[in-house]
Structure 1
Amino acid sequence: MLNIFLLSLAGLALLSIIFEELTHINKAKTTLFLGCLSWITLFVASPDAHETSIINAELQDNLLEIATLWLFLMSTMTFVAYLNAKGMIEIVVSKLFPKSISVRMLMIQVAIFSLLLSAICDNVTATLVSLGLLTTFQLDSNIKRRMSVLIIFAVNSGGVSLITGDVTTLMIFLGGHVHMADLLMLVLPAGVSVVLLATLFSLKANGRVYANSSLQTLETVDIIIAVIFVCTIVLTMVLNILFAIPPVLTFLSGLSIMFLVGKTVHTDNEEIRILEYIRQVEFDTLLFFLGILLLVGMLKQIGTLDELAQLYATHDPNIANYVTGMGSALLDNVPLTAALLKAEPQLTLAGWLGLTYAVGVGGSLLVIGSAAGIIAMSKVNELTFVSYLKYVPALLLSYSVGYLLTLMIGRLLS
């Protein structure tokens, strides 16, 4: 009965996200409430002190994961918000994209940009920067929503071919199941699937769009902070690979340097204005993450993820990987991948590459299935859970093509 009640809370959370437009209740508040309620229920229903201590330990682990993500989001958002407020992203766009471009070509270029960016830095940063590109063009609501969906898929696809791009890729690599050269081959299916989706989205997208022409004048300190941002991204990858330093620590260090440099030039009022901007725009994103991760942690605690891992082991690996990727659209792919690795499935190279691609890209099938989707939903008003569903057929087709190409490459490598 307890598990049924807890699963029903997770179901209610999903329904609250789906029907947010009808209820007009912020999804961040409902998921946070139901996430907290699920853990309170676990403590109340605990039969003895030993079980309570186990639940408490799991909660502490869950909160540590959430706190790490919060701090990482906060530091990344601060950089991006500052550079966006100073017009840096707009200037970069003016250098990379022409002032007037067809909607079709813009979709393909933005998709490739997001794909490449997410391969060399984390999904959060790649999503924020890519969404920042959209604000520099005069896009109507429909095109903006479509391009936001494209960015989500491209960002998730870009991370599968490098251990710096996605946590699940790193987990499978550290398990010794794939080599770096094998992972690099995933660039092909990832690129093909993203270009396919961009092509599908651009079929009915006619006309041209224009970039905002009012570029701001950059100060020396703005360029310095942009360099700090780029260096922070590079050092995050290098230090994590060489010394296993958590990315959040490197980004917080970069953020502290940014504030120290900014303090020498900017007034206190300007610093407060930037921080207020972040607080007002992004707080719902952080609360939404908190609620979602609390619910996923609860599902892990009651053994739902372990049951899925056991179910996975009883089916054909190629089919199981494909379905697992679709499942990662509802469940966080990190604990899901951890549960699968713990089950120690016996897979060929094609199977491991298929699993890597599936858990990395499959979360794109629903807007709540990845960090990129949650961030996009909180920043793009036109993008909601329901409006995202109309793009699922195109997303599923692109995901399926990428998965089949991954299996073919895996078999060739074997």
Structure 2
Amino acid sequence: MSALETVLIVLAVLALLGVIFEDVIHINKAKITLFFGTLSWILLFLASDGQGETAAIASGLAESIAEIAGLWLFLVAAMTFVAYLNKKGMIENLIYLVMPTQVSERKLLFLTGLFCFIFSSLADNITATLVSCSLILSLDLELKKRLQFVTLVVFAVNSGGVSLITGDVTTLMIFLADKVEILTLLTLAVPASITVFVLAVLLSRGLTGTVVLTARKNEIRPVDTVIGLLFLLTILSTIAGNALFGIPPVLTFLFGLSIMFLVSRFMSDDSDLDPILEYIRIIEFDTLLFFLGILLLVGMLKEIQALQSLVAIYDVLPPLYANYLMGIFSAVIDNVPLTAALLKAGITMSPGEWMGLTYAVGVGGSLLIIGSAAGIVAMSKIPGLTFGAYMRYLAHLLTAYTLGYAGVFMLGRFIN
């Protein structure tokens, strides 16, 4: 290993440590990964030996940028839809529309898990978690019961996202790498939903009271309803277009976004007060910049052929066991860089085994409160939710994760 390769690997490790200890060093992980990601490629160019090597590095960078652009554009389109619907209060209205005004705590736990599972499949995990945390905080629950609710929220949000490319970034990454088909991914909803129900049963002990929900109605205009329906139609068209005609999902979603802009222009009269393009500016660009930095780092590691050590576990263990362990690792190591590294490392697996990895890295982060974006958001919003408090339910979470992974394995055998 050359001195340059050693330096670049150290930079990648520092970036990963910065992500893990973000709450300790108080530096946003997007800033850290973007700094180290761009710096590592600059060092590669500075240390290149001749035009041939420079051209090879430029080709590798162009490949990484193309992959990042596809991911970015898809997420920008999807997140703009969600930002608009959330700002207009449609998501909050939907909650109080489907929730009864008076309900037992036990039944509300199951309804909350179901809502989180479905909603996180359509929207991003962070929005689903924020909405669910607002609901929990509106209830007059003691700390222990509040923790039971939020534990289910984190697991259900992460479980819901694995079956649709709109729900989880790692699922989208694995799909864009042509490892699984879009209709095959939908079958993950079956074992994932069952394990959310199982976890709700495990967590429902001690929930014997009754709660009253006070509905907060937001005024919804016709244009808002049309855009909400357009969002659902865009998701369905993305699935159908890719399955039947091979249309890239990013193209369908950008087309849906363009229709959203036109609908807003011709159906509303507040273009000066609330211009539709403003919603692109309020999406979570720190999340997008984090993905950019991570994928630049992983692309660099691929360029210097440093990813082989990561896949050594697949040389020792069959994919069935290796994928399960990767899910547990994703509770400590952010699942985005972990998934990106595994995809770049060139692992050969069957479609069913790739499904197992999709479930593992998507849901495994739920085992620790710091293991997923949903957990981090919940910890920042729910008083009393700490690393140790969440750990009390580790056995429940591990049981649900293991059952879900076993269900995906059986599903994979059928698909293979």
Please report the TM-score for the alignment, with normalisation by the length of structure 1.
0.78
Match of 1:269 in 2: 272
For residues 350-382 of structure 1, what are the alpha-carbon distances to aligned partners after superposition, in whole Å with 9 as ceiling and x for unaligned? 75664453344335456786xxx4477469743
Amino acid of the residue matched to residue 241 of structure 1?
A
C-alpha distance in structure 2 between counterparts of 1:26 and 1:184, whole Å = 33
User: Does structure 2 retain, via aligned residues, the 8 Å contact 1:162–1:169?
Assistant: no
Out of 315, 318, 322, the position equivalent to 1:316 is: 318
C-alpha distance in structure 2 between counterparts of 1:98 and 1:237, whole Å = 32
- Note closer, same or farther for the CA distance 1:113–1:301 as it changes in structure 2 (3 Å cut): farther
Out of 333, 337, 343, the position equivalent to 1:338 is: 343
- Note closer, same or farther for the CA distance 1:257–1:150 as it changes in structure 2 (3 Å cut): same
Out of 219, 222, 227, the position equivalent to 1:220 is: 222
C-alpha distance in structure 2 between counterparts of 1:159 and 1:109, whole Å = 17
Identity within the alignment, %? 44
C-alpha distance in structure 1 between counterparts of 2:340 and 2:20, whole Å = 23
C-alpha distance in structure 1 between counterparts of 2:265 and 2:297, whole Å = 40
C-alpha distance in structure 1 between counterparts of 2:342 and 2:195, whole Å = 22
User: Does structure 2 retain, via aligned residues, the 8 Å contact 1:9–1:38?
Assistant: yes
Out of 219, 242, 248, the position equivalent to 2:244 is: 242
Amino acid of the residue matched to residue 226 of structure 1?
G
C-alpha distance in structure 2 between counterparts of 1:33 and 1:368, whole Å = 22
Question: What SS does structure 2 have at the residue aligned with 1:270?
Answer: coil
Match of 1:13 in 2: 15
Match of 2:284 in 1: 282
1:166-185 → structure 2 map (5 Å cutoff): 166-167=171-172, 168=174, 171-173=178-180, 180=184
Question: How far apart are residue 47 of structure 1 and its match?
Answer: 2.9
Out of 86, 93, 97, the position equivalent to 1:84 is: 86
User: Does structure 2 retain, via aligned residues, the 8 Å contact 1:127–1:376?
Assistant: no
1:18-37 → structure 2 map (5 Å cutoff): 18-37=20-39
- Note closer, same or farther for the CA distance 1:375–1:162 as it changes in structure 2 (3 Å cut): closer
Out of 69, 72, 88, the position equivalent to 1:70 is: 72
- Note closer, same or farther for the CA distance 1:358–1:37 as it changes in structure 2 (3 Å cut): same
Question: How far apart are residue 212 of structure 1 and its match?
Answer: 5.1
Question: How far apart are residue 231 of structure 1 and its match?
Answer: 1.0
C-alpha distance in structure 2 between counterparts of 1:100 and 1:84, whole Å = 25
For residues 153-175 of structure 1, what are the alpha-carbon distances to aligned partners after superposition, in whole Å with 9 as ceiling and x for unaligned? 3344345557887343684445x
- Note closer, same or farther for the CA distance 1:101–1:289 as it changes in structure 2 (3 Å cut): farther
C-alpha distance in structure 2 between counterparts of 1:22 and 1:245, whole Å = 44
Out of 181, 195, 198, the position equivalent to 2:197 is: 195
Out of 57, 60, 67, the position equivalent to 2:59 is: 57
Question: How far apart are residue 13 of structure 1 and its match?
Answer: 2.2
For residues 260-287 of structure 1, what are the alpha-carbon distances to aligned partners after superposition, in whole Å with 9 as ceiling and x for unaligned? 1112213233334x65565356232222
Q: Extract unaligned runs of 5+ from structure 2.
A: none
C-alpha distance in structure 2 between counterparts of 1:164 and 1:281, whole Å = 15
C-alpha distance in structure 2 between counterparts of 1:21 and 1:287, whole Å = 18
C-alpha distance in structure 1 between counterparts of 2:370 and 2:53, whole Å = 31
C-alpha distance in structure 2 between counterparts of 1:191 and 1:46, whole Å = 50
User: Does structure 1 retain, via aligned residues, the 8 Å contact 2:106–2:207?
Assistant: yes
Question: How far apart are residue 184 of structure 1 and its match?
Answer: 6.9
C-alpha distance in structure 2 between counterparts of 1:53 and 1:365, whole Å = 43
- Note closer, same or farther for the CA distance 1:133–1:254 as it changes in structure 2 (3 Å cut): farther
C-alpha distance in structure 1 between counterparts of 2:311 and 2:202, whole Å = 34
C-alpha distance in structure 2 between counterparts of 1:216 and 1:236, whole Å = 29
C-alpha distance in structure 1 between counterparts of 2:115 and 2:205, whole Å = 20
Question: How far apart are residue 302 of structure 1 and its match?
Answer: 2.9
C-alpha distance in structure 1 between counterparts of 2:235 and 2:352, whole Å = 31
Comparing 279-288 and 198-207, the one that deviates more: 198-207
Question: What SS does structure 1 have at the residue aligned with 2:112?
Answer: helix
C-alpha distance in structure 1 between counterparts of 2:400 and 2:380, whole Å = 25
Amino acid of the residue matched to residue 250 of structure 2?
V
- Note closer, same or farther for the CA distance 1:240–1:269 as it changes in structure 2 (3 Å cut): same
Question: How far apart are residue 30 of structure 1 and its match?
Answer: 2.0
User: Does structure 1 retain, via aligned residues, the 8 Å contact 2:80–2:283?
Assistant: no
User: Does structure 2 retain, via aligned residues, the 8 Å contact 1:285–1:378?
Assistant: no
- Note closer, same or farther for the CA distance 1:33–1:57 as it changes in structure 2 (3 Å cut): same
User: Does structure 1 retain, via aligned residues, the 8 Å contact 2:5–2:304?
Assistant: yes
Question: What SS does structure 2 have at the residue aligned with 1:112?
Answer: helix
C-alpha distance in structure 2 between counterparts of 1:29 and 1:13, whole Å = 10
Match of 2:96 in 1: 94
C-alpha distance in structure 1 between counterparts of 2:148 and 2:32, whole Å = 26
C-alpha distance in structure 1 between counterparts of 2:344 and 2:330, whole Å = 12
User: Does structure 2 retain, via aligned residues, the 8 Å contact 1:100–1:209?
Assistant: yes
- Note closer, same or farther for the CA distance 1:302–1:247 as it changes in structure 2 (3 Å cut): same
Question: How far apart are residue 14 of structure 1 and its match?
Answer: 2.9
Amino acid of the residue matched to residue 343 of structure 2?
A
Q: CA RMSD in A?
A: 4.0
Comparing 234-243 and 57-66, the one that deviates more: 57-66
For residues 35-55 of structure 1, what are the alpha-carbon distances to aligned partners after superposition, in whole Å with 9 as ceiling and x for unaligned? 222222222232333222222
Does structure 1 residue 400 correspond to structure 2 residue 402?
yes
The number of equivalent residue pairs is 398
